Amino acid sequence: MRQRVMRGISALVVASGLAGVAQAQPLTIERFGSFHVGGQEVEISGKPVIEYTPTVGGAPLRIDPNGTYMVGQMYAQFMVPQPVRGTVPLMLWHGAYLTGVTYETTPDGREGWQHYFLRRGWTTYVTDAVERGRSGAAMTPDIFGLAIHLPTSNPWERFRIGDGAGSHARGTVLEGNQFPTEPEQYRAFMRQVVARYLGTDEYVIAAYIALLERVGPSVVIAHSQGGAFAWQVAQRRPDLFRALVLVEPAGTGIAADAAKLKDVPTMLMYGDYVEGDPRWSVIRRNARRFADAVRAAGGTVDDVDLPARGIRGNSHMIMMDRNSDAVAGLIQEWLAARGLWR
Amino acid sequence: MRQRVMRGISALVVASGLAGVAQAQPLTIERFGSFHVGGQEVEISGKPVIEYTPTVGGAPLRIDPNGTYMVGQMYAQFMVPQPVRGTVPLMLWHGAYLTGVTYETTPDGREGWQHYFLRRGWTTYVTDAVERGRSGAAMTPDIFGLAIHLPTSNPWERFRIGDGAGSHARGTVLEGNQFPTEPEQYRAFMRQVVARYLGTDEYVIAAYIALLERVGPSVVIAHSQGGAFAWQVAQRRPDLFRALVLVEPAGTGIAADAAKLKDVPTMLMYGDYVEGDPRWSVIRRNARRFADAVRAAGGTVDDVDLPARGIRGNSHMIMMDRNSDAVAGLIQEWLAARGLWR
């Protein structure tokens, strides 16, 4: 049986988030701030000087792009609540085309998962993956590879919001979909989108390792592309993971190294409409096959199929869906049940 | 006389920041979060499909870049302290090649100006200017113009840290310089650097106006390139500025429209070593000439020359210099003296 049912989580908790935690209360923050980790200096030489006349102003510029550049570093924003109740820090890693904003707000303006876990006493680290957001940018395609941009129709149709091809133009959504799809809400989501690059995987993995080395063993919640990275990072440094929560990972770890994950307790979660989607059904099948390999090696992967648990309508962007707090509640309870929260 | 001496600020406050505010105390945050403002949909058509084989993996990709993209939006992160003592929100706008991280930390790991003002009861908005950081990225050069990257030697030599050309290679600094220049500190600064683009000025100005329209009249602290933008934004919408603090602005507003700033109380601040620098001495001269035009039209511009006030060693990155809190104290006192803080 691929799907393992989680034990010890009441329907009440799922429906309401953690009882007794008032969302509107002020937060006491012991400290917050940010830093960058990793990166390296790269030498650029032999490129021609650029002659360029800006549109406004008109004075021609001469720009010599040759020199030494810092590339591959990663931005992390930390918040330490008071009191701290998580036994280790909790990291929130986003997916492709996005930044840490994924966890900082929702398209309908509610608090994000960063707030959810902070309010429950977790020290949170929200990152912008290498190449994206506040992490920096390197010459493309010379260093980071080709830049890819996401057209507005793409997530609507690919992230299980709309009902398939052409649905963005039609303005139609999957029945019962929980993603905020009012025009201004969807626009708020598209404003969060950044470019991604096709040559950065090893930079990203190195930076996540550098972050964990600096912070120490942590719980990692990772989404989509970030989930695939998290699995691979955990295979390289399982000692730095106390638990791994994969929210709709878009890929897997290295199959031959599945045994390296045997001591990393893992939750694997997908939302609704997966079987009806030709791409996501394959992605989940691959993830479940990989999870089976981890289990065969003695590891623990709890498979959470949200609709099978009565939680319906979730798109690929679960942390932005209208029931995002209820799903966060599942994660919180799972972490607490593993002794990582007191 | 170009330089006007500010009145009512004691040397004690300058030296120590605001007395009685303990930096290490926890913060009470009423709420925090983020949103994006502005932006528009741009249609890309007629571009060839890209065939690309990623370095790792090897399966060729077909990418059709044609479609509709959201571009020109801007990210803003807000924090509302408790209690609020600023009469209006306080915005922190960064300079070229940088993001809001400018105000979130210092290269030697101290708290930034975001913390300084938050701890004194200001609701803060920290932005990433259009095109940079979490604000998104558009196709370049098609939409945003040419991408320019900053080599590691450039700020050392251009931001009045090192003693002129060749100083980065020599590892030498201006005497008494306050910028954190230990190798790992300077590296921490360079990790904050992002690309900038040469065709985004109107997008940036439009987004700042959209932000002020959403938030309402505010105090704006703006640095370097952000200072030039702030002057121009204030000329278009003076009604949305309660005060303007320009920290080493790299340019000015439109000279013919100087009178539009007559009701925007302004502080103009430069650090040390300006007269000895061929570029910064010209920039400051232009800014002071512009300030004279604003004064001639009945406006108020208080010119703060830090070394003339006994505050020495400041680089272009004043909010990162070791005496950053002392300088923030000058701004705080000036805002309080204008009745904007209670």
The C-alpha of A159 sits at a distance from chain B's nearest C-alpha, in angstroms, of 17
Helices A201-215 and A225-236, axial angle in degrees (round to 10) = 60
Of A67, A70, A153, the CB nearest to B193: A70
What is the number of residues in chain A?
342
Is residue A94 within 8 Å of A51, Cβ to Cβ?
Answer: no
Q: Do A201 and B153 touch (CB under 8 A)?
A: no
Q: Do B152 and A194 touch (CB under 8 A)?
A: no
Mapping DSSP onto H, E and C, the string for A150-195 reads: CCCHHHHHHCCCECCCCHHHHCCECCCCCCCCCHHHHHHHHCCCCC
What gap in Å lies between CA A301 and CA A291, rounded to an integer?
Answer: 6
**Region B202-208 average pLDDT:** 97
Lowest mean pLDDT among A52-61, A327-336, B204-213: A52-61
**Region B63-79 average pLDDT:** 95
Q: Where are the beta strands (DSSP E) in B45-173?
A: 50-52, 61-63, 67-81, 90-93, 124-128, 147-148
What gap in Å lies between CA B131 and CA B75, rounded to an integer?
Answer: 10
User: What is the reported pLDDT for A50?
Assistant: 84
User: What is the reported pLDDT for B59?
Assistant: 63
Q: What angle do CA B120, A133, B107 make, to 5 degrees?
A: 50
Name every chain A residue with its beta carbon within 8 A of the beta carbon of B199: 54-55
Give the nearest chain A residue to B80 (CA atoms).
A26
**Which SS3 state, helix, strand or coil, does residue B332 take?**
helix
Is residue B92 within 8 Å of B114, Cβ to Cβ?
Answer: yes
Count how many Cα atoms sit within 13 Å of the Cα of residue A153 in the half-sphere of its side chain: 18
Is residue A195 within 8 Å of B50, Cβ to Cβ?
Answer: no
Residue appearing with tokens 């998580």: A86
What is the number of residues in chain B?
342
% of chain A residues with pLDDT over 90: 84
User: What is the reported pLDDT for B53?
Assistant: 64
Lowest mean pLDDT among A18-32, A188-202, B33-47, B249-263: A18-32
**Region A295-309 average pLDDT:** 98
pLDDT at B1 > cutoff 60:
no
Q: Do A149 and B128 touch (CB under 8 A)?
A: no
Residue B83 vs residue B24, higher pLDDT: B83
- Of B46, B307, B79, the C-alpha closest to A114 is B79
Q: Do A26 and B195 touch (CB under 8 A)?
A: no
Is residue B297 within 8 Å of B262, Cβ to Cβ?
Answer: yes
* Rg (alpha carbons) of chain B, rounded to whole number: 21
pLDDT at A37 > cutoff 80:
yes
Give the nearest chain A residue to B103 (CA atoms).
A33
Mutate to test the interface with A, among B94, B192, B204 (most CBs of A within 10 A): B192
Q: Do A104 and B56 touch (CB under 8 A)?
A: no
Q: Do A30 and B34 touch (CB under 8 A)?
A: no
Residue B78's contacts (CB-CB under 8 Å, 6 or more residues apart) are: B31, B32, B33, B34, B35, B89, B123, B124, B125
- Of B14, B64, B74, the C-alpha closest to B38 is B74
CB atoms near residue A286 (< 10 Å): 15
Domains of chain B with CATH codes: 11-337 (3.40.50.1820)
Q: Do A194 and B136 touch (CB under 8 A)?
A: yes
- Of B211, B204, B71, the C-alpha closest to A192 is B71
The C-alpha of B296 sits at a distance from chain A's nearest C-alpha, in angstroms, of 26
In this prediction, residue A22 has a pLDDT band, given cuts at 50, 70 and 90, of very low
Residue A198 vs residue A238, higher pLDDT: A238
Mean pLDDT of chain B: 91
Lowest mean pLDDT among A106-120, A244-258, A295-309, B41-55: B41-55
Q: Which two tokens stand for residue A60?
A: 């021609």
**Which SS3 state, helix, strand or coil, does residue B226 take?**
helix
The C-alpha of B6 sits at a distance from chain A's nearest C-alpha, in angstroms, of 32
Of A29, A151, A192, the CB nearest to B27: A29
Q: Do B198 and A73 touch (CB under 8 A)?
A: no
**Region A177-201 average pLDDT:** 95
Provide the β-strand partners of residue A196.
A148
Q: How far is CA A61 from the centre of its chain?
A: 40
* Residue B235, H or E segment: helix B225-236
- pLDDT of B282-299, one tens digit each? 999 999 999 999 999 999
Mutate to test the interface with A, among B134, B135, B197 (most CBs of A within 10 A): B134
Residue appearing with tokens 């000036």: B334
What gap in Å lies between CA A118 and CA A124, rounded to an integer?
Answer: 6
pLDDT at B57 > cutoff 90:
no
What gap in Å lies between CA A331 and CA A237, rounded to an integer?
Answer: 22
The C-alpha of B129 sits at a distance from chain A's nearest C-alpha, in angstroms, of 11
Name every chain B residue with its beta carbon within 8 A of the beta carbon of A29: 26-29
In this prediction, residue A53 has a pLDDT band, given cuts at 50, 70 and 90, of low
**Which SS3 state, helix, strand or coil, does residue A238 take?**
helix
pLDDT at B182 > cutoff 90:
yes
In this prediction, residue A9 has a pLDDT band, given cuts at 50, 70 and 90, of very low
* Rg (alpha carbons) of chain A, rounded to whole number: 21
User: What is the reported pLDDT for A17?
Assistant: 38
Of B26, B73, B201, the CB nearest to A56: B201
